[in-house]
Amino acid sequence: MPTPPDPDPFHDHDHDACSGAVLEHALTRLEAEGARLTPVRRRTLEILLESHRAMGAYDVLQRLSAEGFGSQPPVAYRALEFLVNHGLVHRVQRLNAYAACLSPQKDHSPVFLICRGCDKVAETGSSDLRAAIGGLATSNRFTVERTTVEILGLCSQCVAAGAEARA
Amino acid sequence: MPTPPDPDPFHDHDHDACSGAVLEHALTRLEAEGARLTPVRRRTLEILLESHRAMGAYDVLQRLSAEGFGSQPPVAYRALEFLVNHGLVHRVQRLNAYAACLSPQKDHSPVFLICRGCDKVAETGSSDLRAAIGGLATSNRFTVERTTVEILGLCSQCVAAGAEARA
DNA sequence: TGGCATAATGTTATATCATCACAATTAACT
DNA sequence: AGTTAATTGTGATGATATAACATTATGCCA
Ligand SMILES: [Zn+2]
Ligand SMILES: [Zn+2]
Ligand SMILES: [Zn+2]
Ligand SMILES: [Zn+2]
């Protein structure tokens, strides 16, 4: 009975373990980098880890504010910026939103699967895809610094549940 | 003496021919679809075609307004939406901006190379990349509807001109 | 321990990007 | 011409993001 290779957010998994491991990892990494996971920052990460959905900055802010932190936009944006800069959170361009990074690997280029049925977001990766981007860059003599790859569609559960097609 | 395979926006090319051909193609396609390229819409496309840069909606609006069209945001957003819906313009997520589509092919999934040195944007494509995304979707049992692939970095000219690296 | 420099937080105000709602106009079709 | 649907225009508002600056907490060293 093989265990799944990755915690697939789209399907049932032990989410406490899933998010707990990520948080653990974050602590270790920041320690090594000499960066401080202050209360706001930690809480922000925890909030994002609660679900496999991307959250807007103002949604995060509302949560933080309700817990006694500052209530103005920079509070959320600064915490998010810190976490993004340290690779613990990714920005999902298509949603103007932020999602906790689930990969233990540092400095990776995430690929997002975004389900428009259930709004969940899965972070994956693909060496084939990286290679294809590398090839494209080479043939265009382009120096790659960052990549955004976001795939919008429906997860299998939403298809099974009868989510209607849309172009 | 072979002609270049694609007009590479990052390098010298006959841009009048480049943009003229695209506009021509747009007229034909819309005609076929029974859609109307009204003055605002046509002008919007022409403005985007003037350069190989992505423009924000408000930049487009300013141009339109100066030419006697309406001066309120919906004027620009509606024209852009129309053009995006008909595949004549793409939205560049990373820049919150819009770029004219340079591909004669309908319903394609563009890949953008975005140079942070000169702000030019090149639209390309790659069957390898499409295949990689297809594979990723299959192995995640995910139904793809739309994809966003944007590569941020430096074009060869900007590298040659000594644009500094940035992580 | 006190003093200093730096980082982090909080707040006000403002910038930027995008859509709603509704009236006026124009085009298409009978 | 009369009816309908599409298009355009405008004012108002919503949503996302940053600037500027005062205040507080932290780390370091004399
Ligand atoms: Zn990640
Ligand atoms: Zn789903
Ligand atoms: Zn050109
Ligand atoms: Zn360049």
Q: What is the pLDDT of residue A15?
A: 85
Taking only the tens place, the pLDDT of each residue in A68-114 is 999 999 999 999 999 999 999 999 999 999 999 998 888 899 999 99
What is the pLDDT confidence band of residue B144, given thresholds at 50, 70 and 90?
very high
Residue A18 is labelled as binding a ligand: no
pLDDT at B162 (0 to 100): 81
CA of A97 vs C1' of D8, distance in Å?
33
Q: What is the mean pLDDT of residues B82-100?
A: 97
Q: Is the pLDDT of residue B12 over 70?
A: yes
User: Is strand D less than 7 A from the beta carbon of B41?
Assistant: yes
pLDDT, averaged across chain B = 92
pLDDT for residue B1: 47
Average pLDDT (B51-77) is 97
Q: Give residue B163's pLDDT.
A: 73
Pair B65, B57: CB distance under 8 Å: no
Tokens of B13: 């090319």
Among B123, B14, B53, B94, which residue's Cα sits nearest to residue A96?
Answer: B94
B25 to chain A, closest Cα gap in Å? 23
Query: Closest to A132 (Cβ–Cβ): which among B129, B142, B150?
Result: B129
Ligand 3 mean position, distance from CA B163 (Å): 23
Question: Nearest-CA distance from B41 to chain A in Å?
Answer: 23
Helix, strand, coil percentages (3-state) for chain A, rounded to 5, are 45, 20, 35
Q: Which of A24-28, A31-35, A59-63, B162-166 comes out lowest in average pLDDT?
A: B162-166
A47/A12: higher pLDDT: A47
Instruction: Give the largest CA-CA distance in chain B.
Output: 52
- In tens, the pLDDT along B96-132 reads 999 999 988 888 899 999 999 999 999 999 999 999 9
Residues B39 and B36: their CA atoms lie apart, in Å, by 9
**Domains of chain B, earliest start first:** 15-166 (1.10.10.10)
pLDDT score of A160 more than 70: yes
